[in-house]
Amino acid sequence: MQKTHYVSSDILDLPILKEIVQEGQKLELSEEAVLNINKSYDYLHSRIAKDDSPLYGINTGFGALCNVKISSENLSKLQENLVTSHACGTGEHVPKHVIRLMLLLKIQSLSYGHSGVQLQTVQRLIEFFNHDYLPVVYTQGSLGASGDLAPLAHLALPLLGKGAMHVDGKILEAKEILQKHKWEPITLQAKEGLALLNGTQFMSAYGTYILLRAHKLSYLADVIAALSMDAFDCNLSPFDPLVHLARPHRGQVKTAERIVSLLEDSELAKSEKENVQDPYSFRCIPQVHGATKDTIVFAHRTFKTEINSVTDNPNIFVQDDKIISGGNFHGQPLALALDFMSIALAELANISERRTFQLVSGLRGLPDFLVNNPGLNSGFMIPQYTAASIVSQNKQLATPASVDSIVSSNGQEDHVSMGANAATKCYRILENLETVLAIELFNASQALEFRRPKKTSPFLESFVSTFRESVSFVDEDRLLADDIHTAIGFIQNISVDPDVLFN
């Protein structure tokens, strides 16, 4: 039986989002959410009816046009014009899994009752989500302040019967979808367009999706690194708890504990070593992987706060009888977290590529480029090139977006976060990291075969055995791009216990 998630004021967190998306749960407004939405809407329209003083974006223009008063008969047209005129997205289509999160997070934000929207507007967004009708949204157009205006305008267009939607693998006009279900286009009321467009749901959706995958890749980086350690015949002494309790960064301690656990009962790990020390890319795994873990935890905390917040403007406070124009749409907290995460994820890829380099270098009894008859066979020479090129690209992508700003709206919006650019760059780094880890796994599994008959730990032997069902040992040169893509798919399809990921 398909589960239903009731949208309410209960705290959303990554494990809950993971369940909603992966299990294909349907959304439904809780009684609390319906009450909050209706109270806010009724209060706003009562206020407008008895008081015609300027309220930003409700009976005034937007941005630099905030001092232009709009007559009461044009309030609905004002909101429709806002959505239509702001749909200026360009670039690639936002991935559907991110759009799904954008819808969910926009619904959640509107449900708190500080936005003044109609109940039917939120319910229509829920219909879109439940039918998996996903508005076509573009990656370019948001400055990460004033809300993610252009992306969210495209998200809102289908409410008006405009724009396009992803439906069953096709892109269809939104008006076709509305006609199919006999849904009338929504007539936006006062402030609704602004409530839909103001907000950080583009940045937040990217960030939460990146975090879901980052937790998993952080864990797999440890698993693959442990495999590389045995393949390279490394010492376990640098992972002694005493070393890490003397410098107890949480991520560092956790990484060292995990590596020791992953290598438990490994013949290779227990064997006598000829080398007193290992290269930093092996010896400093706890320090480097651990720092990335701590960064992910910081970003997780930031995004958890954001996805449980109201980020449109103005905000309506019924109990306090106030409508306040503020700046909760400004994406600076997210931009900084995304930039920090970009650097941290790029470093996981960086150290992974260095381990791959060591494995193919003909050291410690391993053949040059991990292949029999090197020379006739180039073996694993070029996968390392590929990893190196990706790592170099990551260094360019990790340049912070949040230190940039550009003036817009005639100087009214004079400092912006560039968090949307930070989000799309971080997404690219995440995908690059996945590829670099897949290449390390491909190399480490090959190198391990040259250590036979000695074995690694039972856990890692099982892990490699499963990998070998998809990618076989390389006896002689073959088309390795196919193996790399298969290795990427292997990593993508691995299921990891949420208790391991989020604790």
Each residue's pLDDT tens digit, 126-163: 999 999 999 999 999 999 998 899 999 999 999 999 99
- Give the fold, CATH level 3, of 4-199: Fumarase C; Chain B, domain 1 (1.10.275)
Count the Cβ atoms, other than its own, within 10 Å of residue 483.
Answer: 20
Q: How far apart are CA 231 and CA 7, in angstroms?
A: 49
Categorize the per-residue pLDDT at 64 as very low, low, confident or very high, splitting at 50, 70 and 90.
low
Cis peptide before 185 (omega within 30 of 0): no
* pLDDT tens, position by position, 247-283: 999 999 999 999 999 999 999 999 998 888 999 999 9
CATH of domain 208-312+320-502: 1.20.200.10
Predicted confidence at residue 62, as pLDDT, reads 67
Categorize the per-residue pLDDT at 414 as very low, low, confident or very high, splitting at 50, 70 and 90.
confident
Work out the average pLDDT over 463-470.
Answer: 97
61: pLDDT strictly greater than 70: no
177: pLDDT strictly greater than 70: yes
Predicted confidence at residue 499, as pLDDT, reads 86
57: pLDDT strictly greater than 80: no
66: pLDDT strictly greater than 80: no
Residue 206: active-site member: no
Whether the Cβ atoms of residue 11 and residue 108 lie closer than 8 Å to each other: no
Q: State the catalytic residue, choosing from 41, 43, 56, 133.
A: 56
Predicted confidence at residue 1, as pLDDT, reads 67
Predicted confidence at residue 338, as pLDDT, reads 98
| Residue with more model confidence, 233 or 66 | 233
Average pLDDT of every residue of the chain: 94
Predicted confidence at residue 162, as pLDDT, reads 98
48-62, 81-95, 100-114, 160-174: range with lowest mean pLDDT: 48-62
* pLDDT tens, position by position, 67-108: 777 677 777 888 899 999 999 999 999 999 999 999 999 999
Q: Hunting for tokens 């309506």 — which residue is that?
A: 316
27: pLDDT strictly greater than 70: yes
Work out the average pLDDT over 100-127.
Answer: 97
Predicted confidence at residue 503, as pLDDT, reads 78
Categorize the per-residue pLDDT at 63 as very low, low, confident or very high, splitting at 50, 70 and 90.
low
Q: Where in the chain is the domain with CATH 1.10.275.10?
A: 4-199
* pLDDT tens, position by position, 335-362: 999 999 999 999 999 999 999 999 999 9
Q: Where in the chain is the domain with CATH 1.20.200.10?
A: 208-312+320-502
**Structure tokens of 417?**
């976060």
> The whole model's pTM is what?
0.95
10-14, 256-260, 484-488: range with lowest mean pLDDT: 10-14
Predicted confidence at residue 134, as pLDDT, reads 98
Q: Which amino acid is at 383?
A: P
Q: How far apart are CA 35 and CA 123, in angstroms?
A: 13
Categorize the per-residue pLDDT at 447 as very low, low, confident or very high, splitting at 50, 70 and 90.
very high
Predicted confidence at residue 258, as pLDDT, reads 98
Predicted confidence at residue 59, as pLDDT, reads 76
Q: How far apart are CA 59 and CA 78, in angstroms?
A: 8
Per-position DSSP letters for 75-129, written without gaps between them: HHHHHHHHHHHH---EEEEPPHHHHHHHHHHHHHHHTTS-S---HHHHHHHHHHH
